[in-house]
């Protein structure tokens, strides 16, 4: 039977790898971005203006565009995805030890995580 | 100002925010947002987006480091997380409907409340011999080991109240892009009557998951700007890491109180700016 100790070690490992990989991607992307555009003046669109909606496809196209900012975005998405993986690990763990109450609880959280990632605004 | 200088300044201030957040126990998010808004005049939505991401990173890093120590109560964390994720989802959806003035005022109030909780915190509890019926049914009670090998068993109280507070903490987390750590600890420390170390590590475990639910919606809204987020993320992680190392040497209540007062002043400044700006 799967012990809680083993599961905790696995979760620690997943979180460590996910956070490290994402930090590396973000740092690399950041350095490349500064090398490319560091000497430009800051753009005023960062300052108080309203954000624009992005579709899931736009977010992923941007993240996979191999541009420095895309690399940072990919790192950020990876960090969010790591959270989904750790909840999925708990679902699997509770299924393995046949704790059905907690399987339902973890699955609910997993569904919310996945649903919010694919959430599309209906108000625009 | 060039992008290089802007990013370097952002990195330094995010490092300080992460350090301060970790030393006070308030968390990096609640400190970095006013810094970005007041010093860098960044749109509060973007500041919240950058904060939300750093909150996820800090939670993941600390959970990875502490989960094997056995203080984190995963059953309590997951059970209360149901309320927190539902709250965070609706909190993040609400952003589209509330004004930035409202967000700033609410943020300042949460800042004061969190600082108050941090100052007031009482790490001692009565020892209960029985548990709340929900805790028994869900097997929420737990055990942790002291350094000398002795096991300490704890009984969990007031589960419905903690569940409710967690829902409110979730709404605030989603609405303001913070971890709501102070409120999560309040629910577990005061309502559930958990040992303090169990409450803080379990809260840290939960924060990343709550923030990840809001992050999906923040991405779609376009609130997460890579060029602002990267220096903030790196700075806050480094600051939080350094703060955690420092904490083992200086666990000083006075320090925590002074920092909390500093944070209240930041809150007053934010409130002043928005009220004068709105007038």
pLDDT at A14: 94
The minimum CA-CA distance between B176 and chain A, rounded to whole Å, is 16
Question: Token pair of B214, please?
Answer: 């809001």
- Are A12 and B67 contacting, i.e. CB atoms less than 8 angstroms apart? yes
Identify the residue whose tokens are 């006013």. B34
Q: Which of A74, A80, A62, A64 is nearest to B230 (CA)?
A: A74
SS (H, E, C) B121-135: CCCCCCCCCCCCHHH
pLDDT at res. A20: 92
CA A84, chain centre distance (Å): 8
- Give pLDDT, residue B279: 46
| Residues B30 and B114: beta-carbon distance below 8 Å | yes
Question: What pLDDT, in 10s, does the model give residues A10-42?
Answer: 999 999 999 999 999 999 999 999 998 888 887
In chain B, pLDDT over 70 holds for what percent of residues? 95
Residue ranges of E strands in chain B: 142-145, 151-154
**Cβ atoms within 10 Å of B207's Cβ, excluding its own:** 29
Look up residue B89 and give its two tokens. Answer: 């989802």
Residue among B96, B167, B155, B151 at smallest CA distance from B130: B155
Q: Which residues of B touch A70 (CB under 8 A)?
A: 226
Question: Which residue on chain A is closest to B42 by alpha carbon?
Answer: A47
Interchain contact, A116 vs B214, CB within 8 Å? yes
Q: Mind giving me the DSSP string for B10-30?
A: HHHHHHHHHHHHHHHTS-HHH
Structure tokens, A111: 């569904």
Take residue B109 and report the two structure tokens written for it: 């109030």
Closest approach of chain B CAs to the CA of A82, in angstroms?
A: 9
How do residues B82-115 score in pLDDT, each as one tens digit? 999 999 999 999 988 888 888 889 989 988 888 8
- Fill in the DSSP letter of residue A42: P
pLDDT single digits (tens) B137-165:
888 898 888 878 888 889 998 899 999 99
Q: Cβ distance B87 to B174 under 8 Å?
A: yes
Q: Which residues of A touch B220 (CB under 8 A)?
A: 53-56, 59, 119-121
Q: In whole angstroms, what is the distance from residue B91 CA to residue B111 CA?
A: 17
Question: Residue B68 gets which letter from DSSP?
Answer: G
For B63-88, write each residue's pLDDT tens digit: 888 888 888 899 999 999 999 999 99
Q: For the whole model, what pTM was predicted?
A: 0.88
Helix (H) or strand (E) holding A95: helix A68-96
From CA B34, how far away is CA B24, in angstroms rounded?
16
CB pairs under 8 A between A and B: 185
- Residue in A17, A14, A24, A2 with CA at minimum distance from that of residue A75: A24
Is residue B171 packed enough to be buried (19+ CB in 10 Å), middle (13-18) or exposed (0-12)? buried
The answer on pLDDT for A120 being more than 70 is no
- The answer to whether residue A46 scores a pLDDT higher than 60 is no
d(CA B142, CA B165): 21
Name residues whose C-beta falls within 8 Å of residue B160's C-beta, 6 or more positions apart in sequence.
B134
* Segment 46-75 of chain A within 8 Å of chain B by CB: 46-56, 59, 69-70, 72-73
ipTM for the whole predicted complex goes beyond 0.90: no
B215 interaction partners in chain A (CB closer than 8 Å): 80, 116
Lowest mean pLDDT among A64-78, A92-106, B252-266: B252-266
Q: Where are the domains of chain B?
A: 3-278
């Amino acid at each position: 039977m799967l012990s809680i100790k083993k599961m905790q070690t696995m979760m620690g490992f997943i979180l460590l790898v996910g956070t490290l990989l994402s930090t590396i991607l973000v740092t690399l992307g950041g350095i490349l971005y500064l090398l490319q555009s560091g000497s430009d003046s800051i753009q005023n669109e960062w300052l108080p203006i309203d954000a624009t909606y992005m579709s899931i496809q736009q977010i992923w196209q941007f993240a996979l565009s191999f541009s420095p900012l895309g690399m940072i975005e990919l790192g950020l998405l990876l960090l969010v995805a790591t959270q989904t993986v750790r909840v999925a690990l708990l679902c699997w763990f509770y299924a393995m030890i046949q704790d059905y109450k907690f399987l339902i609880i973890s699955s609910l959280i997993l569904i919310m995580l996945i649903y919010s990632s694919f959430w599309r605004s209906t108000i625009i | 100002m060039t992008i290089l200088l802007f990013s370097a300044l952002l990195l330094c201030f995010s490092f300080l925010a992460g350090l301060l957040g970790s030393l006070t126990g308030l968390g990096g998010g609640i400190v970095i947002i006013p810094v970005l808004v007041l010093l860098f005049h960044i749109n509060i939505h973007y500041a919240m987006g950058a904060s939300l991401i750093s909150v996820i990173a800090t939670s993941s890093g600390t959970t990875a480091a502490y989960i094997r120590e056995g203080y984190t109560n995963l059953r309590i964390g997951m059970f209360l997380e149901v309320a927190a994720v539902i709250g965070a989802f609706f909190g993040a959806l609400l952003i589209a409907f509330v004004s930035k003035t409202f967000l700033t005022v609410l943020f300042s109030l949460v800042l004061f409340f969190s600082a108050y909780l941090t100052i007031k915190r009482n790490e001692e509890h009565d020892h209960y011999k029985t548990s709340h019926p929900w805790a028994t049914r869900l097997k929420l009670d737990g055990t942790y080991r002291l350094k000398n090998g002795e096991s300490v068993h704890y009984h969990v109280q007031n589960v419905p109240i903690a569940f409710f507070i967690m829902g409110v903490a979730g709404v605030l987390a989603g609405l303001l892009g913070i971890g709501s750590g102070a409120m999560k600890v309040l629910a577990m420390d005061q309502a559930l009557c958990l040992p303090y170390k169990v409450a803080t590590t379990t809260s840290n475990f939960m924060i990343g998951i709550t923030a990840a639910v809001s992050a999906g919606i923040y991405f779609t809204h376009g609130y997460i700007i890579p060029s602002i987020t990267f220096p903030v993320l790196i700075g806050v992680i480094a600051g939080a890491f350094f703060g955690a190392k420092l904490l083992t040497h200086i666990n000083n209540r006075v320090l925590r109180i002074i920092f909390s007062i500093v944070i209240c002043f930041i809150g007053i400044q934010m409130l002043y700016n928005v009220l004068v700006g709105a007038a």
